[in-house]
Chain A
Amino acid sequence: MEQKGFFQTKAGGLTIAFIVIMIAFAMIMAGLYTGTSVLCTIGFVLIVVAMLYSPVKVYILDRRNKMEHHG
């Protein structure tokens, strides 16, 4: 069986999501310090996207893949 690389596993995906959240945190802080609301907005959107990775993967993508395999 083919061995999955770390970043292809769920833990790997969540690690990337975590890194994205940290980058978003830095962007929001920079936005708050400089009064740049665009930075805050982009940072916030990144947080939402990274947070939704797990439910989307588990309950939409994985389920769709499973259905395709069975179909």
Chain B
Amino acid sequence: MNIPINVFMWVMAFLPIAVLLVLMIKFQWGATEAAPIGMLITIITGIFLYKADLTLIAAESAKGIWNALIILLIVWTAILMYQVGDEAKAFLVIRNGMRKLLPNELLLVLAMGWIFESFLQGITGFGVPVAVGAPLLIGIGVQPMWAVIIPLFGQAWGNTFGTLGAAWDSLAMSAGLAAGSAEYISTAAWTALFIWLWNIIGGVAVCWFYGKGKAVKKGLLAVIIMAVIQGGGELLLVYVNTTISCFVPATISLVAILLLGRSKLYREEWSIEDSPIMNRKFTEQSSDEAPKDMTLVQAFVPYFLLSIITLVVLVVEPVNSFLGQFKIGFAFPETSTGYGYVNAASECFSPLAIFTHASMFLFVSSIIGLIFYKKHGWIKAGGVKRVFVKSISMTMPSGIAVIGLVIMSKIMDGTGQTVVLANGIAAVLGIVYVVFAPFVGLLGTFMTGSNMSSNILFGGFQLTTAKLLGVNSSIILGAQSAGGAIGSAVSPSKIILGTTTANILGSEGKVLKKIMSITIPATILIGIIVFVLV
């Protein structure tokens, strides 16, 4: 590779990201409008500065569309699941039922916005907790924008070891960590430790949003208990099995918060009337519309099904290996830029294992849930058609934005712009770079929408840089993945999932601005800790 790494090339590689951020945050553009502009700039810099030909750009665009389709299948089926519940008015039943179980409104918000999302992240991931969580929170009276922000915080900690450890496995693969080796365990432990810190920050942030200092005081014990179970449990379990190190503590925390609702501190009705995140008018208006004969358990049927199907398919080995053999993928030829940056040929690029993909679990759960609700008369005549029509109308805007973002990241990667970005940072900053190690992880997830992709993109780079600088690579890799997990809270493609199901598409900039006020200081904190440690 002969790409010149200089300030100009670095600035041009960073330009699409900068433009994306400015358009979304400063000018409040929606991601559907901002992503194509970022993509266009990447194409222009790719062709004219990074010497890519049109075939390379077209091939990377096609890879981007394929990867985006795999993500969008989850979005579409998650929205279908939401529409099924919405048509049957199950969210109103869930809201009323959970309110009875958890009379403390702050605990209710924590349960529905953090703990339930953690559980979903543990098994599914890929933005499902955000897409599913936002309407659930709206159902308990949270304002739509906050109903998107809270799940983004709630799911983030589970991004590395969640989805049964997919992102962790990709970090181990890209950094060449042999499973069970001392380096593997040490890296997993540092990753879990940094994530634990973020887990606590996320919980406190939700309390702060709900009612500033008064809510933090009331919710602190619950946050500490939940964080000990989730973050502490994960740290312990990485020494045993990284695959279940998020899912198991996330499930335990779901049970624990319901028990906590029975404790002396939280069993009484408690709320902050003028909470800035709650929509009191909505709660009062729609409380009578819930179907009287639907129980809380019945309202949760599609979610129970989702959990059971996911667990059986992913954890029961014979079922997983049988269903996992059905894969769809495309072959791509080798391409290279004028600077000799080569994209290797692939016989089956990013194969989609259709029956073990999260979208299949969501689809099957939605359809069974639809039949179940219809059989009980909770979905009226014309309701089934309405579910599908509304689902399609809701999915298209987010579809275009996700495609644009993924194409942008693929072209950046395929033309060498990502490598220039990373190398430039390391060359200029020297040892100070370690402070920014979690930012690289965050940037990767911001661009690709996935902690797993961030680890694939930057895992090798972080390891090489750590070795060049002579610092502890386990700590740097831990910071990479923890930053990647935090980045899932600011990733536009995940934010879109929430704004779509919360019906506030176009508000991504506002959401991003609010979230960045917590994620950036948290990432800096982890960076400083890394600097002190190495």
List A residues at the B interface (Cβ < 8 Å): 6, 10-11, 14-15, 17-18, 21-22, 24-25, 28-29, 31-33, 37, 40-41, 43-44, 47-48, 50-55, 58-59
Identify which of A14, A21, A52, A59 contacts B65 (C-beta below 8 A).
A21
Identify which of B36, B55, B393 contacts A37 (C-beta below 8 A).
B55
For the complex, is B101 an interface residue (Cβ under 8 Å from A)?
A: no
Which residues of B have CB within 8 Å of A33? 331
Q: A18-B396, A32-B332, A55-B33 are in contact. Are A40 and B54 (CB under 8 A)?
A: yes
- Proximity string of chain B (50-69) to chain A, C-beta cutoff 8 Å, 1 when within and 0 when not: 00001101110110011000
Would A32 and B333 count as touching, CB distance under 8 A? yes
Which residues of A have CB within 8 Å of B33? 54-55, 58-59
Q: A10-B397, A14-B400, A44-B58 are in contact. Are A52 and B407 (CB under 8 A)?
A: no
Between A and B, 25 residue pairs with Cβ closer than 8 Å are A10-B397, A11-B393, A11-B396, A14-B396, A15-B392, A15-B396, A17-B400, A18-B403, A21-B65, A22-B65, A28-B62, A31-B55, A32-B62, A40-B55, A41-B58, A43-B61, A43-B62, A44-B54, A44-B61, A47-B407, A50-B400, A53-B400, A54-B32, A54-B33, A54-B36
Would B404 and A29 count as touching, CB distance under 8 A? no
Q: A15-B396, A41-B54 are in contact. Are A51 and B403 (CB under 8 A)?
A: yes
* Number of residue pairs spanning A and B whose beta carbons lie under 8 angstroms apart: 86
Would A29 and B330 count as touching, CB distance under 8 A? yes
Which residues of B have CB within 8 Å of A22? 65
Whole-angstrom CA separation of A50 from B396 in the bound complex:
13
Whole-angstrom CA separation of A51 from B34 in the bound complex:
10
- Proximity string of chain B (4-34) to chain A, C-beta cutoff 8 Å, 1 when within and 0 when not: 0000000000000000000000000110111
For the complex, is B37 an interface residue (Cβ under 8 Å from A)?
A: yes
For the complex, is B399 an interface residue (Cβ under 8 Å from A)?
A: yes
Would B55 and A51 count as touching, CB distance under 8 A? no
For the complex, is B40 an interface residue (Cβ under 8 Å from A)?
A: yes
Would A52 and B58 count as touching, CB distance under 8 A? no
For the complex, is B39 an interface residue (Cβ under 8 Å from A)?
A: yes
Whole-angstrom CA separation of A25 from B54 in the bound complex:
14
Chain B contributes a number of interface residues (CB within 8 A of A) equal to 34
- Given A25-B65, A28-B59, A44-B58, 20 extra CB contacts under 8 A: A6-B393, A14-B400, A15-B396, A21-B400, A21-B403, A24-B65, A25-B66, A32-B62, A32-B333, A41-B58, A48-B40, A48-B43, A50-B400, A51-B35, A51-B36, A51-B404, A54-B32, A54-B36, A54-B397, A58-B30
Whole-angstrom CA separation of A1 from B393 in the bound complex:
21
Which residues of A have CB within 8 Å of B34? 55
Whole-angstrom CA separation of A52 from B32 in the bound complex:
9
Would A25 and B62 count as touching, CB distance under 8 A? yes
Which residues of B have CB within 8 Å of A17? 400
Identify which of A14, A29, A31, A47 contacts B32 (C-beta below 8 A).
A14
Would B399 and A14 count as touching, CB distance under 8 A? yes
Q: Quick one: closest B residue to A13, CB to CB?
A: B396
A51 → chain B, closest Cβ, in Å? 4
Q: A25-B66, A32-B62, A47-B407 are in contact. Are A14 and B55 (CB under 8 A)?
A: no
Which residues of B have CB within 8 Å of A11? 393-394, 396-397
Whole-angstrom CA separation of A15 from B399 in the bound complex:
9
Would B36 and A43 count as touching, CB distance under 8 A? no
